[in-house]
Amino acid sequence: MACEIHEGDIGTTLTVTVTDCGTTLDISTATSLSIFIKKPDGTLLTRTGIFTTDGTDGKIYYVTVAGDTDVAGTYKIQGRVTFPSTASYYTSSATFHVECNL
């Protein structure tokens, strides 16, 4: 993530890592990659994640578009991957702050 995110920023990369008991999972065979973003006003966004590499590093990312960071405050983020076997893994949730503009 960027070191500082502001209201209305477009093009900010948000990254999550899928782990199990502290070990990074190889998610290269996942059939669905999702990133959930909860805004300070409670709005929940569901976005399609993208592998940062080939999935063996357990990381997925999403690049923000207009409307994603239109409210200043503390956001929550969480990822989910689903495998062909119907197994799904969620990442731990994390927070990030979106700063006000003048």
CA-to-CA distance for 20 and 89, rounded, in angstroms?
8
The mean pLDDT of 71-90, rounded to a whole number, is: 94
For 39-73, the pLDDT digits (tens) are: 999 999 999 999 999 999 999 999 999 999 999 99
Average pLDDT over the chain, rounded to an integer: 94
State in words which class domain 5-99 has: mainly beta
Q: Which residue has the tokens 């993208």?
A: 50
Question: Measured between alpha carbons, how far apart are the two ends of the chain, in Å?
Answer: 22
Q: Give the largest CA-CA distance in the chain.
A: 49
CA-to-CA distance for 28 and 40, rounded, in angstroms?
32
For 27-46, the pLDDT digits (tens) are: 999 999 999 999 999 999 99
